[in-house]
Chains A and B, each alone.
Chain A
Amino acid sequence: MEETEYVIKTIKFGILSPEHIKKMSVVTITVPDTYDEEWVPIPFGLMDRRLGTLEPLQRCETCGERMEQCPGHFGRIELARPVIHIGFIKYITMILQTTCSECGRILLDDNSIRRYKDYYLRFKNKKLHYFATLINNIVVKKASQASKCPHCKATKLKIKFERPFSIIEEMNGESKILTPYEVHDRLKKIPDEDVELLGFDPVYARPEWAVLFTLPVPPISIRPSITLETGERSEDDLTHKLGDIVRTNEKLKQSIESGSPQLIIDEHWNLLQFHVATYFDNEIAGLSQSVHRSGRPLKTFAQRLKGKEGRFRSNLSGKRVDFSARTVISPDPFISINEVGVPYDVAMRLTVPEKVTQWNIDRLKEAVRKGPNELGGANYVIRPDGRQIDLRFVKDRNVLADQLEPGYIVERHLMDGDLVIFNRQPSLHRISIMAHQVKCLPGKTLRINPMVCPPYNADFDGDEMNLFVPQDSEARSEMETIMKVEKQMLTPRYGGMIIGALHDYITSAYILTKKDTKLSRFIASYILGLAGYREPIELSNEIKGREIFSKLLPNIDFEGKPLAVFNEEDKKLVIKAGRILSGVIDHNAIGDQKAHTLLHKIYLTFGPEFTKDFIDKLGKLLIGYLDHYGFSIGLDEEDLPDEAYANINEAIRKHLKKVDEYIEMYRKGLLEREPGATVEETLEQKIMDELNLARDEAGKIAEKYFNQDNSILITAKTGARGKMLNLFHMAACIGQQSLRGKRITRGYENRTLPHFKKGDISPYARGFIKSNYKKGLSPLEFFFHAISGREGLVDTAVRTSQSGYMQRRLINALLDVYVEYDGTVRDAEGNIIQFLYGEDGIDPTYSFGQEPVDLDSIIKDELEK
């Protein structure tokens, strides 16, 4: 089998000329039906065998090939009367408006034509299409203003386009519809050079070709019929439409031949025009849609191409591939962050083609012996002559395995260490698609390390992810060098670590590195062993948690500010030569989606490979420790002593009283309005400020009563999960509920619920919730809470569609933009967008925040050396 590689250099667009249509057509369709009673295609019908074949084993009557090889052939319909192509009608009108109906020249004098022509050609030859189009537009604008032909002095009549498909000429206030014959005659008169100046291509798109005398009939491979389960046959929408056209055409032909009155002929002609128009586009303004028997509008050509589900966006821009898998994901903290756990079942279906060489022949022989149903086997063997052997049907695989020699290709099962592409939708940024190493595991789900969740924005509540297996070494080498997880740990958005510790890892790190955490030798060696630490450790029976954490650290200096400050000494995290001297490790040191962390520094100093290993070890250590420690959250964590509740109630009462005072002042007209606001707005603002103060103060009081080892407090303060506000909501007071940033006012007339008096604007009547989640909400409070909650849901739903569209537009606008070797930023045409990327040529991935280089630390490091 010989293969030649072709590269498509350019694609030329144009209009099919009548000669071309005739030349490529193999049959003239005159019968509007498809099959006869025995399901044999009717000759000269819409399913004529000469148009190609879709039935297996049958040969095409034109080329003699089978279904797989025959691309199908065009037929044609000879229209009894010409019709105008609906898609070009606006362009035709424009041409008729700008040219003389008698001599066919543009309605400009020779001098201007020559001048414009000059400019036009100059721009066109330099490929300045934008300017060339500009000239076209000027010519059209100027010419359409003329009232007399400067060439033959004929008067120019006004020409208008009228929906849906008429071109109208106005003469002395009377309007006359131009027939397609007249339109065709006029268009034909226009010389090539004038056509060109109006924006048409005179060779590939003469305007008169837009008036159809013959209609091409597409091959049946474009409009296959489908057989339903019931055995019923159903034709494609296009076939239906073509049937309408042929039927109308035949009727028109008959009435012309039988000498019917002009009125009848015109009626048929109009109907033909309608059918041909809807055949191209079934959503024309001012035209009723052509429908299927069931009332469903037909999907004709324009509908096939248009929109999200159309040919362009769905089939041409979106590629679908084999060698891919998709299932639910679940966590496995004991695999590396650059691995993906693949179920055995999946691994035995996905294959990698591997060429047999002297170095891998033994392994591949073994794979062939194992066959398709054992892990580590193979599914197909391709012989050097190109024949593919399916191992499912090979009787003795041992024989085949012995035949194997260099030159054979074995499609072997996925195995540990293979690189695969892993992806989760929506693929909003490039780190939504990364390369992982395969690890075959029992089970039915794809497994990932929880620490690679942030780039994918994945969780395990039922998320599914996709996996793709590359089929050649070029793809594999690109994945190896740029797509692997460890090479994508920095995000170009802000140049920080996207991968890092999260949730329980942070909690564990904090508890482990707390000043007073001490571990027994047994536990210490257990978790260090888990992390793969193989050096001897001290014999002391009380080892500081910090020391254990430090054992994993490379030789690095780091200073940072922990999020969690429980005591004065922890205010600053200091690491010198890989040892924690003070401070705790929390989200600010090893957290995800953060720049300038300890992890970030390790990455920049020691590189991707090392950082990956470090994170893996760290993860195992922290998981191991938290397992031993036993960390959980219980309902009693939100308990406060009675004294605290009393204080909170008192605080809230105090603020509510203040609100009452404001309302009283407002009622008496004593409230002073703030600049730029009405009195009512001022009052609302004051009440809202006051109620927020009430909630904050309640929280502050509650905070005093929490222990330092309160689990929620730890997770909130270390940045592991949640904010302090969530804790206050649970333990103290939920506070004001809002709708569109204001207190809740809608519902009944002048009141939110019938439980309140009309005009009541007191806090409780406007959605203030005094209770906390622990205590529970009153029915009224619950109602207000639901209002706010619903707003949140609606908000997310609307936002995703809006931001999705924004991103689509951004991508479409900028997808060709790249950095040239000279440092300039250019688009596909080579137009310069920036002379130096970002004004200094620095990649934001590797910059220090908004600064190109971290000067402070360079100076400091060097001075201290």
Chain B
Amino acid sequence: MKLSKYFVKKLRNEGVSEYVIRKLQEKLSTYQEIPTKVLKKIVEKVIEKYNSALIEPSENIGVVTAQSVGEPGTQMTLRTFHFVGVKELNVTLGLPRLIEIFDARNKPSTPTMIVPLKKPYSQSKDKAMKVAIKLEELLVEDILTDHETDENAMEVILYLDKDAMKSRDVKVKDLKALLQKIKNVKVLYSESDPSVIRISPLQQLNIKQLNKLKDRVLNLKIKGISGIRRTVVRRVDKEDGTFEWVIATEGSNLKDMLKVPEVDRNRVYTNDIFEVYNVLGIEAARIVIIREAMKVLEDQGLDVNIKHIMLIADAMTRTGKIKQIGRHGIVGEKPSPLAKAAFEITTKHLYDAAIRGAIDELKGVAENIIVGQPIKTGTGKVKMYFDIMKYIENLAS
């Protein structure tokens, strides 16, 4: 059964959203013939229900939203770690993660990516594993059994792990070439003792500098994508019975990940909001905020309508930049000195207002509470007058 153009137009004219119209069409398509009379009734009922559920003007929706997200916060467990599908990967969840999202921290405490692959690679575990190993960041440190600084000879000594080198396909020659790129050092390697590389600086260094040099050497990237510390290949079964192999990572680097040819770029996902913002822009960042916050709430089994999270995400991203829920973000940028002073760092805001000769226009809720006047949203937005003459006239007639 299909919805005729007439009905679609009618729904649209009555303000019913496209989403509902589409859903209704989907639902109706599973039915056989429906008499037009019934269909008309259905459409009318949908319009009625839709319009009766519309939000009331001047509803103080911000407070409702804050309460709807804040109240379940008290019921959340503080349990920090949780496993995403695979038990090998830890991801911060629960209240700490929610706070982290609203804080708009630069880096999440546990960045992860979900990396789907293009066709041939996503179908076999071996192929996916190969890609995964390619992605993993390999540092000099990862292929050593041990390392030390020789303070007499003033050298950094690296003891190579042959097995690790073999399994990660690193040749001594390449490593030597890589190390040689460091300025002002000589790389010593003798065939007689193939598991040792000595790095000797050309200049006179003190011990502190030598240790610094060692750290620098250990953190040199041999291959992979920087920031991707670990990868796990995981099988994802889809609803239609097919499956694919997907790589989950510890650490995140969206920009470089998108450059890997085997990766299905359209579906790569990271939980790092700022990275998404920098690579894909503010709209994408908004969606990641919504998704991440909803994930936390759903994981805790808390039922919260997505509209609340959407409003928070919109408030955070409204200006085109990600703003924190707090003194360095939304609250801190309010124009009202009183509202800011009532939140945090009271004196600073007052001094600031004083030198600027700031004017508080008492538009917001907090300011009007402070001066003891009715607030200008909700029932405070409207005024009602009773025209007594009209009333009497009506009584008379």
Could you tell me if B70 and A818 are in contact, using CB atoms closer than 8 angstroms?
Answer: no
Residue A390 at the B interface, CB < 8 A? no
For A427, give the chain B residue with the smallest CB separation: B67
Could you tell me if B362 and A810 are in contact, using CB atoms closer than 8 angstroms?
Answer: no
Q: Which of B49, B308, B329 contacts A853 (CB 8 A)?
A: B49
Could you tell me if B27 and A856 are in contact, using CB atoms closer than 8 angstroms?
Answer: yes
Q: Tell me the smallest distance from the CB of B80 to a CB of chain A, in Å.
A: 8
Residue B299 at the A interface, CB < 8 A? no
Q: Which of A8, A430, A814 contacts B62 (CB 8 A)?
A: A814
Residue B255 at the A interface, CB < 8 A? no
Q: Which residues of B contact A201 (CB under 8 A)?
A: 355-358
- Interface of chain B residues 8 through 57 with chain A (CB within 8 A): 15, 17, 19-20, 23-24, 27-28, 31, 34, 38, 41-42, 45-46, 49-50, 52-57
Q: Which residues of B contact A10 (CB under 8 A)?
A: 359-362
Q: Tell me the smallest distance from the CB of A194 to a CB of chain B, in Å.
A: 14
Given that A11-B371, A855-B20 are known contacts, is A821 also in contact with B57, CB under 8 Å in the complex? Answer: yes
Given that A493-B303, A846-B53 are known contacts, is A818 also in contact with B315, CB under 8 Å in the complex? Answer: no
User: In the complex, A741→B77 CA distance in Å?
Assistant: 12
For A676, give the chain B residue with the smallest CB separation: B88
User: In the complex, A302→B379 CA distance in Å?
Assistant: 36
Q: Which of B89, B318, B372 contacts A676 (CB 8 A)?
A: B89
Could you tell me if A493 and B365 are in contact, using CB atoms closer than 8 angstroms?
Answer: no
Q: Tell me the smallest distance from the CB of A450 to a CB of chain B, in Å.
A: 20
- Mask, B58-71, CB within 8 Å of A = 1, is 11111111111111
- Interface of chain A residues 807 through 865 with chain B (CB within 8 A): 807, 809-821, 823, 825, 827-829, 831-834, 837-844, 846-847, 850-856, 858-859, 861-863, 865
Q: Which of B64, B78, B232 contacts A795 (CB 8 A)?
A: B78
Q: Which residues of A contact B20 (CB under 8 A)?
A: 840, 852-853, 855
- Interface of chain A residues 733 through 749 with chain B (CB within 8 A): 741
Given that A199-B356, A205-B355, A803-B74 are known contacts, is A855 also in contact with B46, CB under 8 Å in the complex? Answer: yes
- Please indicate which of the listed interface residues B54, B67, B310 has the most CB atoms of chain A within 10 Å of its own CB: B67
Residue B373 at the A interface, CB < 8 A? yes
Could you tell me if A852 and B366 are in contact, using CB atoms closer than 8 angstroms?
Answer: no
User: In the complex, A861→B48 CA distance in Å?
Assistant: 14
User: In the complex, A828→B331 CA distance in Å?
Assistant: 12
Q: Which of B78, B311, B357 contacts A825 (CB 8 A)?
A: B311
Could you tell me if B66 and A834 are in contact, using CB atoms closer than 8 angstroms?
Answer: no
Q: Which residues of B contact A802 (CB under 8 A)?
A: 78, 95-96, 99
Could you tell me if B62 and A807 are in contact, using CB atoms closer than 8 angstroms?
Answer: no
Q: Which residues of A contact B347 (CB under 8 A)?
A: 87, 281, 302, 305-306
For A307, give the chain B residue with the smallest CB separation: B346
Residue A7 at the B interface, CB < 8 A? yes
- Please indicate which of the listed interface residues A14, A281, A310 has the most CB atoms of chain B within 10 Å of its own CB: A14
- Interface of chain B residues 151 through 193 with chain A (CB within 8 A): none
Could you tell me if A838 and B310 are in contact, using CB atoms closer than 8 angstroms?
Answer: yes
Residue A494 at the B interface, CB < 8 A? yes
Q: Tell me the smallest distance from the CB of A35 to a CB of chain B, in Å.
A: 32
Q: Which residues of A contact B5 (CB under 8 A)?
A: none
User: In the complex, A831→B62 CA distance in Å?
Assistant: 13
- Give the dominant DSSP class at B's interface: helix
Residue A129 at the B interface, CB < 8 A? yes
Residue B259 at the A interface, CB < 8 A? no
Residue A203 at the B interface, CB < 8 A? yes
Residue A393 at the B interface, CB < 8 A? no
User: In the complex, A8→B46 CA distance in Å?
Assistant: 47
- Interface of chain B residues 349 through 387 with chain A (CB within 8 A): 350-351, 353-366, 369-373, 376-379, 381
Residue A39 at the B interface, CB < 8 A? no
Q: Which residues of A contact B61 (CB under 8 A)?
A: 817-819, 825, 837
Q: Tell me the smallest distance from the CB of B112 to a CB of chain A, in Å.
A: 12
Residue B342 at the A interface, CB < 8 A? yes
- Interface of chain B residues 67 through 85 with chain A (CB within 8 A): 67-74, 76-79, 81
Could you tell me if B318 and A831 are in contact, using CB atoms closer than 8 angstroms?
Answer: yes
Could you tell me if A429 and B68 are in contact, using CB atoms closer than 8 angstroms?
Answer: yes
For A496, give the chain B residue with the smallest CB separation: B303
Residue B337 at the A interface, CB < 8 A? yes
Q: Which of B24, B41, B308, B381 contacts A818 (CB 8 A)?
A: B381
Could you tell me if A317 and B305 are in contact, using CB atoms closer than 8 angstroms?
Answer: no
Q: Which residues of A contact B28 (CB under 8 A)?
A: 859
- Interface of chain A residues 292 through 308 with chain B (CB within 8 A): 302, 305-307
Q: Which residues of A contact B (CB under 8 A)?
A: 7-15, 87-88, 91, 129-130, 199-201, 203-205, 207, 210, 281, 302, 305-307, 310, 312-313, 316-317, 319, 426, 428-430, 478, 482, 491-496, 595, 674-677, 685, 741, 795, 798-800, 802-804, 806-807, 809-821, 823, 825, 827-829, 831-834, 837-844, 846-847, 850-856, 858-859, 861-863, 865
Total number of A-B contacts with CB less than 8 angstroms? 335
Q: Tell me the smallest distance from the CB of A612 to a CB of chain B, in Å.
A: 20
Q: Which of B329, B359, B371 contacts A8 (CB 8 A)?
A: B371
Could you tell me if A818 and B58 are in contact, using CB atoms closer than 8 angstroms?
Answer: yes
Q: Which residues of B contact A850 (CB under 8 A)?
A: 305-306
- Please indicate which of the listed interface residues A12, A129, A478, A838 has the most CB atoms of chain B within 10 Å of its own CB: A838
User: In the complex, A863→B96 CA distance in Å?
Assistant: 49
Residue B87 at the A interface, CB < 8 A? yes
Given that A815-B366, A843-B53, A854-B49 are known contacts, is A316 also in contact with B74, CB under 8 Å in the complex? Answer: no
Residue B325 at the A interface, CB < 8 A? yes
Q: Which residues of A contact B27 (CB under 8 A)?
A: 855-856, 859
Could you tell me if A815 and B337 are in contact, using CB atoms closer than 8 angstroms?
Answer: no
Q: Which residues of B contact A (CB under 8 A)?
A: 15, 17, 19-20, 23-24, 27-28, 31, 34, 38, 41-42, 45-46, 49-50, 52-74, 76-79, 81, 86-89, 95-96, 98-99, 102, 230, 232-233, 303-308, 310-312, 314-315, 318, 325-326, 329-331, 333-339, 341-343, 346-347, 350-351, 353-366, 369-373, 376-379, 381
Q: Which residues of A contact B325 (CB under 8 A)?
A: 809-810, 813
Given that A13-B350, A430-B67 are known contacts, is A818 also in contact with B377, CB under 8 Å in the complex? Answer: yes
Could you tell me if B34 and A205 are in contact, using CB atoms closer than 8 angstroms?
Answer: no
Pick the 10 closest A-B CB pairs, nearest first: A201-B357, A817-B62, A807-B70, A814-B62, A838-B307, A676-B88, A803-B73, A844-B305, A828-B364, A810-B66
User: In the complex, A15→B356 CA distance in Å?
Assistant: 9
Q: Which residues of A contact B350 (CB under 8 A)?
A: 13, 305
For B363, give the chain A residue with the smallest CB separation: A828
Given that A11-B359, A803-B73, A863-B34 are known contacts, is A844 also in contact with B307, CB under 8 Å in the complex? Answer: yes
Could you tell me if A820 and B369 are in contact, using CB atoms closer than 8 angstroms?
Answer: no
Q: Which residues of A contact B359 (CB under 8 A)?
A: 10-13
Q: Which of B52, B68, B99, B308 contacts A806 (CB 8 A)?
A: B99
Could you tell me if A843 and B54 are in contact, using CB atoms closer than 8 angstroms?
Answer: yes
Q: Which of B70, B76, B78 contacts A810 (CB 8 A)?
A: B70
Could you tell me if A829 and B89 are in contact, using CB atoms closer than 8 angstroms?
Answer: no
Q: Which residues of B contact A495 (CB under 8 A)?
A: 305
Could you tell me if A814 and B65 are in contact, using CB atoms closer than 8 angstroms?
Answer: yes
Q: Which residues of B contact A87 (CB under 8 A)?
A: 347, 351
Could you tell me if A317 and B342 are in contact, using CB atoms closer than 8 angstroms?
Answer: yes
Given that A201-B357, A828-B336, A854-B49 are known contacts, is A838 also in contact with B311, CB under 8 Å in the complex? Answer: yes
For B330, give the chain A residue with the smallest CB separation: A813
Could you tell me if A819 and B55 are in contact, using CB atoms closer than 8 angstroms?
Answer: yes
User: In the complex, A228→B339 CA distance in Å?
Assistant: 37
Given that A430-B67, A855-B27 are known contacts, is A813 also in contact with B315, CB under 8 Å in the complex? Answer: yes
User: In the complex, A784→B311 CA distance in Å?
Assistant: 45
Could you tell me if B70 and A852 are in contact, using CB atoms closer than 8 angstroms?
Answer: no
Q: Which residues of A contact B69 (CB under 8 A)?
A: 807, 810
Given that A674-B88, A812-B366, A855-B23 are known contacts, is A842 also in contact with B304, CB under 8 Å in the complex? Answer: no
Q: List 26 A-B contacts (CB under 8 A).
A: A8-B373, A12-B359, A15-B355, A302-B346, A312-B370, A313-B342, A317-B342, A429-B71, A494-B305, A495-B305, A675-B88, A799-B74, A802-B96, A810-B325, A812-B331, A812-B366, A813-B329, A814-B63, A820-B58, A827-B364, A828-B336, A838-B306, A850-B305, A851-B23, A859-B42, A865-B38
- Please indicate which of the listed interface residues A11, A685, A846, A854 has the most CB atoms of chain B within 10 Å of its own CB: A11
